[in-house]
Every structure is written in C-alpha cells, then in structure tokens.
Structure 1
C-alpha cells in the first residue's frame, strides 16, 4: 500500500488546490452517500496526514478520513490553476512513482463523468478529485479523529520534539522482530514494506532481532534514517534509497532498477557485499534483506 510519504504529498496537494474552497462532495458509487451529504457545501480548512491516514477538516469541524489501503487511489484534474500530481495511490510502479502532473484544462467546464467505482468526488470551482478503492472513507467527528490518532505511533515526517524518544521506547519494550515492529503503525506510523527493508539494510540490522534487543543507539539510528529517507520521498514523489554513485544513468535520476538496495532484488547480488539478496515472508508480507550485511 502507499507509504507515508505519499499520504503526506496527498495532504499537501489537497491543501494547495482545495484549501479554503467550498466543495461539492458526492458519492457516484453510492457507498459514501450519507457521508457526502454531511460534508457537501462546506469549505476545506486543513488537510493533514499522520502515517498512512489522511484527514480533511471542513469548516463545520467534521473530517473526511481516508486510508488508501492496498488498492486506493486519488485522481485529480482541473483548470490551469490546478497544479499537482494527476494520480497518487494504486496502481504503483516500483518506488511508488506517482502519475502527474495534472493536465491543465484552460477551458475547464467541470469534472468529467465518473469512471469506475468512485467512492467520493470532491469538486471546487477550479478542479476535482476522485477516490477509488480505499480501505477507509468516512465522515468523522473531531473525537473520532483523535481516537484514530491515539492508536498511532509517532510519524517520522512530523518528527516533533519527543517523537524520537517515543519511538525508541515503543520499539524496545517489545520482543517482536524489529522487521514486524517497523511496520506496526502503533510503533511507527507511515512505514511500509519498502522503507522497512531499506532502512534495516542501510543500518545493517538483522530483521529478526527482537525489539527488546535493539540498543538505544541503534533504535535512534533507525528513526533518524527513516526520517531522512521518507523526507526524500516527500520531496521526490518516489522512494529512492541508493546514492547517485550506484545509478546507471550517471547520477541524474535513479532508474527504478537502481533505486533500492534490497527491495525486490531477491536473487541478485547485494550492492554492498555481493551476497545474494534474500526474500522470505514475515507477518504475511515479503521481507527483503542481505544475509551478508544484516546477520
């Protein structure tokens, strides 16, 4: 599913193109009709993300809460003032490269007819956004939004005072394998399979090490590297964890095949030590790691 950097980019795009604007909210598919009725006609005040959760706050203090899950995606369009990516979410290429930019319509006359199962449609005077396939799409109260937030661990992309220490505490109090803990949203919000594999490799951590066996220094390095790599993802709109020296095009842009150290490179030699990269399942998700660098 889309990792936290994509959801933060979504929040930024919603704020840029819909912030302060009155929105018509509908549910062409019909599954969100009751929620759309609660939100339509109100203005978007703020778009925020925490981990993989997106919150759109309206001027009457109700929220549209969206979790894209494995198959969710937002599509956007509008006039020449409507900027940003044309699609964020599934389907995705390696590295979660998003589609874009929006193709501006100088003679914009409104959104096109809905295509497919559009759960919710947001329309302003300048553009539109369609949501399909999300795991969660709900109109919720501030108390309900706070309850969702209360179940989540710190978000590396917020990196607020005390977040690093809280992550270390949550990680080290559990005997579960660190590879599982990094994707436990109550421990660390926003990390998915790619960042999990890449950060563990970059910090040379055995994925099966219990969290309680991770010393504070190593836990701190995991946090710091997650902050750095996810921040790069927000900036670039894709996940690249390798340095330009490893890029086959001369270092201008990372080709997809060169963007990662271990993710989806099972059976290939490790870029650092030459050992064959391994792949197994842990917690019903594929785990990629280097038996030479991380054991």
Structure 2
C-alpha cells in the first residue's frame, strides 16, 4: 500500500492537472454517486490534498470527494481524454479541456460536505499527518511523549494511523534506523532523547521520501553508490528490504524480524548496541 509520501505526490499531480480548470465531463461508477456527475460538471477543482492514506478532492462548491485507494486503487492522468490501457476497473473519471484524471480499482469513494470532512469515520481517527503543511515537529514529538501510547510497542505503533498518519512499512524501518533505536521496545522504554530523535526522523525521512520519489537514504550515500553503478534497490533505503546486505553506515549485515505479520529491518550494530 502506498505510504504518505506517495499519496501526497499523487495529490500534487492531481492538483496540477485539475486545479482551476472547469470540469467538462465526470464519471462515477457507483450508483450512489451518479447524481453528482451533473451537479459537479462545470465546476472547478480548488485543490487536492492527502489525509493519511486518503485523498480529498475539493470542488469550488462545498463538495469534497473522499477516496481511499486501499491496496489496489490507483490514479492515472492522461491528455485529451485518452483512457489509459489497463485492465483495472474504472471508478472515477474527471475531465477538463487539458487533462483527464482516472481513479481505478478503489473501493472507498464518498462525497462529503466541506464542513463535515473532519467528521468522516476515517479522518477523525487520524493522528497528525506527518506531511501536512500545518503539522509541526512539536505535534509529532507530542505523540511520542503522550501517555496514551506509552504501553504500545514501537513497531506496531508506527503503523497506527491514529498515532502519526502517513507512515507505512518502509518508513517504519527507516525511521527506527535513522533514530538509532532498538526496534523491540515499548514507547515508555525510550529516553526523552530517543523520542526526540524518533520525531525528527519521522519528519525528515517522510519529507525526504516525498521530495525524492521514495528515496530515504542520505544523499551522500546515494551519490556514492550511484557512482559505483548500484541499482535503485541498492541505494534507495538504509535497511528496508535489505536483509543480508551490508549496512551503509557501519558495514554490519542487515537483519529482519517479523512482527504483527509484517517484517521489520534493522542493523544490529547501529540499533541494538
């Protein structure tokens, strides 16, 4: 499932393609949304933004389209109404004179009133969105310092969208590595300094992944590996999905463990010593 950086990049592409351009045709696959095809035709899209792993499309009226891709949903953009060549099931299509935006395979699509967005069952449960422009370092640090979460294991907590939204499996391992913390502990077992490091890593690596299109590794390491003709998979991450490879920082062999049915990756030397 795409994580926060990928969802925000999708929102950016949709904003660039749709913002301030009158809609000349609209398609909804679900019968419950059909009435909005005519209601929204002729309107402009004001903006598109991410909330956790959902996307909100704001029309110039008080109407907002909520969509969540789940595992298989995907937005695609084309020019002049040319529909992409795909076997996916079309759920939504938004057309203007320049671009067309197609949403495929998503199962959760709703139309909301703008003043009711924060009352949506998914959105109201979200923690601070790590990439939202209004989210601060203090917001993220406050989550790590909160008594509400102190008895939760960090590996589980980092995937909880009610803790910090936008974090997924690759960012989880990368954040714990960058903060140099033992991934096996509960939140209460980390020092204040470690919690500060975790908050910093959460923001820094999420922003880095957003800006680079998915790379979380340090720029100097990435550039050095590129000069050695390393593949994208070799230089993209510090530890995620690099079992039995060498740590970019110390040369120790990266290990993996399964927790909650999903793997975490870590460096025994950088994180356990």
TM above 0.5, yes or no, is: yes
Q: Which residue number corresponds to residue 16 of structure 1? A: 16
How far residue 233 of structure 1 moved from its aligned partner, in angstroms, is 2.0
Q: Which residue number corresponds to residue 97 of structure 1? A: none
Q: 1:135 to 1:185 in 2, by over 3 A?
A: farther
CA offsets, 1:66-111, max 9 Å, x none? 2222222111111xxxxxxxxxxxxxxxxxxxxxxxxxxxxx4x33
Q: 1:219 to 1:201 in 2, by over 3 A?
A: same
Native 8 Å contact 2:174 2:216 kept in 1: no
How far residue 178 of structure 1 moved from its aligned partner, in angstroms, is 0.6
Q: What is the DSSP-based 3-state SS (H/G/I as helix, E as strand, rest coil) of the residue aligned with 1:248? A: helix
How far residue 171 of structure 1 moved from its aligned partner, in angstroms, is 7.3
Native 8 Å contact 2:221 2:248 kept in 1: no
Distance, in Å, in 2 between the alignment partners of 1:58 and 1:279 is: 45
Q: Which residue number corresponds to residue 208 of structure 1? A: 184
Distance, in Å, in 2 between the alignment partners of 1:254 and 1:238 is: 14
Higher helix proportion: 2
How far residue 190 of structure 1 moved from its aligned partner, in angstroms, is 0.3
Q: Which residue number corresponds to residue 250 of structure 2? A: 273
Distance, in Å, in 2 between the alignment partners of 1:232 and 1:254 is: 19
Q: 1:126 to 1:270 in 2, by over 3 A?
A: same
Q: Which residue number corresponds to residue 168 of structure 1? A: 144
Native 8 Å contact 2:95 2:101 kept in 1: yes
- How many residue pairs get aligned? The number is 262
Q: 1:288 to 1:55 in 2, by over 3 A?
A: same
Q: Which residue number corresponds to residue 61 of structure 2? A: 60
Distance, in Å, in 2 between the alignment partners of 1:176 and 1:259 is: 29
CA offsets, 1:163-194, max 9 Å, x none? 13432234773312111111110001101111
Native 8 Å contact 1:244 1:254 kept in 2: no
Q: Which residue number corresponds to residue 33 of structure 2? A: 35
Q: Which residue number corresponds to residue 260 of structure 2? A: 283
Distance, in Å, in 1 between the alignment partners of 2:244 and 2:188 is: 31
TM-score, length-normalised on structure 2? 0.85
Native 8 Å contact 1:111 1:123 kept in 2: no
User: Superposition RMSD on alpha carbons, in Å?
Assistant: 2.5
How far residue 142 of structure 1 moved from its aligned partner, in angstroms, is 3.1
TM-score, length-normalised on structure 1? 0.80
Q: Which residue number corresponds to residue 7 of structure 1? A: 7
Q: Which residue number corresponds to residue 188 of structure 1? A: 164
Ranges in structure 2 where 5+ consecutive residues have no aligned partner = none
How far residue 123 of structure 1 moved from its aligned partner, in angstroms, is 0.9
